[in-house]
Amino acid sequence: MSCTVVVDGGGTGCRLAAVNESGKLVAQVISTPANLTLGADQVYKSITNGLASLAVSLGKPAGWHPETIWCGLAGSHQIDEKEQFLQKLSNTTTCHIINDGYAQLLGCAQGETPYACLSIGTGSVLNYLDSNGQHSMQGGWGFPAGDEGSGAWVGLRAVNRLAQWYDTKSDFSKTPPLIEGLVDIIEPTIQGILKFSTSKDPKQLAQLAPIVFETAPRDKSARDIITEGTQHFQNLIAESSSGITTCVAGGLAKSYQPYLEALLKRDISIAPTEAALHGLHLYARQAETGLK
């Protein structure tokens, strides 16, 4: 059975799959983060470990490597890290790399244009196809300078609210819901707060984002963070095309969905979990048949 091996690598984890000619996933495994901003060594380790697990799922012998893999990797614009990673793989496997958000967009659009896919996870970015099928991006400049509205961005603002509360607290019996949620994870001491407020680890900060969404119905400070993030996403979508069909993907997609729908005054669909894997399969088929 002929299969295409595809890899969806992000800052939280990496999924590898074998897809048959009809587009069905015949095997799928999970590996560690494979964002090129983490470095070529980390991505190489994640993907090679994932390929070893995929080989077991496919009943392949130990040491098996596919001749070609098609990767959608976060941080793919990090040219130096990308080239180092490709060099590491070059002895065993030919690797084609596109941006993970573009892969997700292709899987959601399924040939429809214009179309936009807003990815909101640890980071954030908008990928879209114009009416001619040309791909463009908005946002996605990386944390902390960019990735507004993302899990890391939301988490950092939550820590900021905790630090402000620590500086001005006067009544411990009236702790706001957001702060109550945060102190379950962050020790409410100078040392504990500094550990998070000075963190350069987006994944560590992103773990705080669910607390913001959970407490938003009862906490104005949490709602203000979400409102600011939602407004940013509205601006990204408006810059691409105000009437474009849009889906939302990523770990915070469902959390943001009602806020986006309320602001944009239209339905926003949730991207299928396996959209990027299917998008990579479509991309591989197009490339192999000479289509752009």
Q: pLDDT band at residue 1, thresholds of 50, 70 and 90?
A: low
Q: Write out pLDDT tens, residues 220-272.
A: 999 999 999 999 999 988 877 766 788 999 889 999 999 999 998 888 899 98
Q: pLDDT band at residue 75, thresholds of 50, 70 and 90?
A: confident
Whole-number Å distance between alpha carbons of 229 and 256: 9
Residue 22: the pLDDT is: 85
Give the count of alpha carbons within 13 A of 281, CB side only. Answer: 23
Token look-up 């239209």 returns 266
Alpha helices, H only, 220-252: 220-240
Q: Write out pLDDT tens, residues 2-35.
A: 789 999 998 778 999 999 988 899 999 999 999 9
pLDDT above 90: percentage of residues in the chain: 63
Residue 242: the pLDDT is: 60
Token look-up 């590898």 returns 16
Q: Write out pLDDT tens, residues 108-153.
A: 998 888 899 999 988 899 999 988 888 999 898 888 889 999 999 9
- Say whether the peptide bond before residue 114 is cis (omega within 30 degrees of 0): yes
E-state strands within the chain: 3-9, 14-20, 25-31, 68-73, 94-99, 115-120, 124-129, 135-139, 245-249, 269-270
Whole-number Å distance between alpha carbons of 78 and 82: 6
**What is the residue extent of each domain of the chain?**
3-110+272-288
Q: Write out pLDDT tens, residues 87-111.
A: 998 888 999 999 999 999 999 998 8
The domain 3-110+272-288 is placed in CATH, from the list 3.40.50.720, 3.40.50.300, 3.30.420.40, 3.10.20.740, at: 3.30.420.40
